Amino acid sequence: MKQLALPTTKEAANRVWDILVTHAGAPNDEPGWARAQFVYHFTQGTISEYRFQGNLGSGGKFWCDRFEGWRVTCYPEDETVERREMIAVTNAVLRELLEEL
């Protein structure tokens, strides 16, 4: 796996957000506040996690880890079978994008 901590371009950040919208229910307010904030923070490299909530509940987060890559999680107490499946699918698509970039 590439050691790429952040989606450093606007294009990459927008593609990640599209995945979060499609597979994890992130707010689809394009070109609204949620997407703009996500793109800003990750292109500036200011944070390594972003709470998008979506269908993963209030603990729905996107993580950028230098060694683990890009992934989403939710609070353990909010996990359900459906959310675990959603997380697995979302993380698989994020891995594919990371490898592509």
**pLDDT on residue 69:** 84
Length of the chain: 101
For residue range 4-29, what is the model confidence (pLDDT) as tens digits? 555 578 999 999 999 999 999 999 97
Beta-carbon contacts of residue 50 (< 8 Å; ≥ 6 apart): 38, 41, 42, 61, 62
Exposed (0-12), middle (13-18) or buried (19+): which is 17, by Cβ within 10 Å?
A: buried
Say if pTM beats, i.e. exceeds, 0.95.
no
Hey, what are 51's tokens? 């709470």
Classify residue 67 by its DSSP letter.
Answer: T
For residue range 60-101, what is the model confidence (pLDDT) as tens digits? 999 988 778 899 999 999 999 999 999 999 999 999 998 888
Helix (H) or strand (E) segment spanning residue 86: helix 81-100
